[in-house]
Structure 1
Amino acid sequence: MKLVSNINAYRRRHGRRIAIEQAVFWSAVGGLLLIWPHLSDALPTGTFVAGGILLSVANGVAIYLKRPGAN
């Protein structure tokens, strides 16, 4: 008994799902980068600084992963 009848179809679906999740995640990071300066008055200073550092690191990872040949 096979758990997956067609492993290639499963891999295709899994790869498509991962691509969609990555697109949504990096779109959210990009959106936060755009609105982050406007949140400086609403957030405490420590939270604003820590969030800015976290967003900068996430943006750096996104740029690194979008390079050709980086898998």
Structure 2
Amino acid sequence: MAMAETARGTVHEWQRDHMGHINVRAYMEFFEEACWQFYTMLGLTASRLRSGEVHLAAVQQNISYQKELYPG
């Protein structure tokens, strides 16, 4: 399966941690946005999810950080 871009954004100053790069909370917010885009690509719209036809739950998250992100 080819890689698909599911999110693009800007890191803001208020998302920095004590070391100057993006904090874990902000990563999770970006991840949530990317998930919704991916669901849409699969045809899983918000209305379809609300219908009860499909149920999704994040029951485990394994994160491997590749590179720090900085504001800008």
Normalising by structure 1, what TM-score? 0.35
Query: In proportion to residue count, which structure has more helix?
Result: 1
Higher relative contact order (CA 8 A, sep 6+): 2
Higher CA-based Rg: 1
Q: When the two structures are superposed, what TM-score results if normalisation uses the length of structure 2?
A: 0.35
